[in-house]
Amino acid sequence: MDNGITRGVFLAFVRVHILHHAVEGPVFGLEMIEELRRHGYSIGPGTLYPIFHNLENTGCLRSKEEIVSGKRRKYYVATAKGKRALLDVRKKIRELVREVLKEEAGK
Give the pLDDT confidence of 80-97 residue by residue, as tens digits: 999 999 999 999 999 999
Question: 3-class secondary structure for 38-94?
Answer: HCCCCCCHHHHHHHHHHHHHCCCEEEEEEEECCEEEEEEEECHHHHHHHHHHHHHHH
Under a CB-based contact definition with an 8 Å cutoff, are residues 52 and 76 in contact? yes
Q: How far apart are CA 22 and CA 102, in angstroms?
A: 30
pLDDT digits (tens, 9 = 90+) for 7-61: 898 999 999 999 999 999 999 999 999 999 999 889 999 999 999 999 999 999 9
Domain that holds residue 62: 4-105
CA-closest candidate to residue 61, choices 2, 13, 16, 5: 16
Q: Is residue 1 pLDDT above 60, yes or no?
A: no
Q: Is residue 69 pLDDT above 80, yes or no?
A: yes
- Per-residue confidence (pLDDT) for residue 74, from 0 to 100: 96
- Per-residue confidence (pLDDT) for residue 7, from 0 to 100: 87
* pLDDT class of 103 with cuts at 50, 70, 90: low
Looking up residue 83, the CATH number of its domain turns out to be 1.10.10.10
Non-local (6+) Cβ contacts of 17 within 8 A are 32, 35, 36, 39
- Per-residue confidence (pLDDT) for residue 106, from 0 to 100: 55
CA-closest candidate to residue 77, choices 56, 58, 57: 56
- Per-residue confidence (pLDDT) for residue 77, from 0 to 100: 98
When divided into structural domains, the chain yields a total of 1
